[in-house]
């Protein structure tokens, strides 16, 4: 069982508490505030990958690697950050971040700046046709590009990309995956298809396993028709493939609906319950942050085994002030948008993702290899 005293602190502290403490956090946990991390100069390198006769799809793929100028040989982890449908790697660089950032005393900072401050590298790959082959629920063709060929093996591309970077940066011990929208959809697929334990953790943001095939944001979580792609995502996902996950969504999202995101997380929880006999499937740790002066709030709920293994945390932004699904799709705080700090209830989501990744890396280092998931 989780130590309920962990709930008294910020979400970042809760995530760390659940992930790291093997036998509860103790009666009186006293997390000390972390000092502001240094602002590092970022180096950007273009990475070209020749996949001729290696992966199904285009023979040449590209990505952009961001790392701290002083961390070329000292970065401890690699984050693969994937853009959404119709977007580019450059756009993912620009939209992911925090508009109220501790690194710049309340000004905007990018996800890359937040990550390199914590000794992480971030690579932004470019999807073919501005899309990822994450499953049958995505995507319509982009003007100027042919319809996405569902035989394109983006999993193969991402694995070779990560391995190429790791071969040049031997200090990397952990690989993480995250993405917005279609990039979030791809995060689930990567976890399912790459070797078990390849990723230390993933963070799909507004992304459903297999992709959403619906446009209704107000259906019940257990609606089987709504969760059709989660049940049949277009690829196999054995129980051993589940990895620690922090997923983010909004209850007014009509593109990748929150009910399907929750169903995706529930699938990983059921997979972990097969691995750990004491897995607490019902969420036991919650964080609720209400935006001042509004009825909007974000609620995060997590599950894990008694040891802390198999952490699956779901954060849902709720907007009871707004009726119906968001139209246009990215209008409103709980809509299909990257939680970049524009809304108070975004709760520094980029930092939370990074802290989740780091807590899972630390947790994995505390356990034997065979259970370090």
User: What confidence score (pLDDT) does residue 181 get?
Assistant: 95
Cβ atoms of 52 and 28 closer than 8 Å: no
Most confident of 11-20, 106-115, 283-292: 106-115
Strands 312-318 vs 297-303: parallel, antiparallel or unpaired: antiparallel
Structural domains in the chain, sorted by start: 41-140+150-371 (3.40.50.1820)
pLDDT digits (tens, 9 = 90+) for 239-296: 999 999 999 999 999 899 999 999 999 999 999 999 999 998 888 766 888 889 999 9
pLDDT at residue 11 above 60?
no
User: What confidence score (pLDDT) does residue 165 get?
Assistant: 97
**Pick from 248, 244, 262: which is nearest to 204 by CA?**
248
Tokens (6 digits) for 337? 């948008």
In angstroms, what CA-CA distances link 37 with 113, 115, 173, 351, 367? Answer: 10, 10, 21, 12, 27
Answer yes or no: pTM beyond 0.85.
yes
What are the residues whose beta carbons fall under 8 Å from the beta carbon of 351, sequence distance 6 or more? 12, 98, 102, 114
Mean pLDDT of 312-320: 95
CA–CA gap between residue 126 and residue 124 (Å, rounded): 7
Tokens (6 digits) for 59? 């023979």
pLDDT digits (tens, 9 = 90+) for 65-91: 999 988 877 899 999 999 999 999 999
């Amino acid at each position: 069982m989780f130590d309920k005293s962990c709930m008294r602190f910020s979400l970042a502290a809760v995530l760390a508490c659940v992930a790291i403490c093997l036998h509860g956090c103790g009666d009186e946990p006293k997390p000390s505030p972390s000092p502001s991390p240094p602002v590092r100069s970022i180096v950007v390198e273009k990475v070209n990958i020749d996949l001729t006769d290696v992966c199904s799809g285009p023979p040449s793929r590209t990505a952009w690697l961001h790392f701290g100028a002083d961390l070329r040989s000292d970065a401890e982890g690699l984050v693969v950050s994937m853009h959404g449908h119709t977007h580019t790697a450059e756009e993912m660089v620009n939209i992911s971040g925090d508009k109220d950032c501790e690194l710049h005393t309340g000004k905007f900072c990018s996800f890359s700046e937040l990550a390199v401050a914590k000794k992480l590298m971030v690579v932004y790959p470019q999807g073919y046709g501005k899309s990822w082959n994450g499953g049958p629920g995505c995507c319509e063709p982009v003007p100027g590009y042919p319809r996405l060929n569902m035989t394109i093996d983006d999993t193969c591309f991402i694995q070779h990309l990560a391995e190429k970077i790791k071969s040049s940066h031997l200090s990397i011990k952990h690989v993480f995956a995250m993405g917005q929208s279609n990039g979030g959809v791809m995060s689930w697929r990567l976890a399912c298809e790459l070797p078990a334990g390849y990723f230390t953790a993933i963070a799909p943001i507004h992304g459903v396993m297999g992709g959403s095939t619906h446009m209704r944001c107000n259906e019940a979580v257990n609606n089987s028709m709504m969760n059709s792609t989660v049940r049949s995502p277009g690829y196999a996902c054995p129980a051993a493939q589940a990895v620690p996950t922090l997923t983010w969504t909004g209850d007014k999202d009509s593109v990748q609906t929150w009910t399907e995101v929750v169903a995706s997380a529930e699938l990983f929880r059921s997979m972990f319950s097969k691995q750990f006999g004491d897995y607490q499937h019902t969420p036991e740790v919650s964080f609720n942050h209400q935006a001042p002066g509004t009825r909007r709030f974000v609620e995060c709920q997590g599950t894990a085994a008694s040891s802390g293994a198999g952490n699956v945390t779901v954060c849902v932004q709720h907007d009871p002030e707004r009726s119906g699904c968001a139209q246009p799709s990215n209008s409103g705080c709980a809509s299909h948008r990257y939680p970049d700090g524009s809304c108070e209830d975004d709760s520094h989501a980029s930092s939370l993702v990074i802290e989740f990744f780091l807590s899972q890396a630390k947790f994995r280092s505390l356990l034997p290899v065979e259970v370090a998931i």
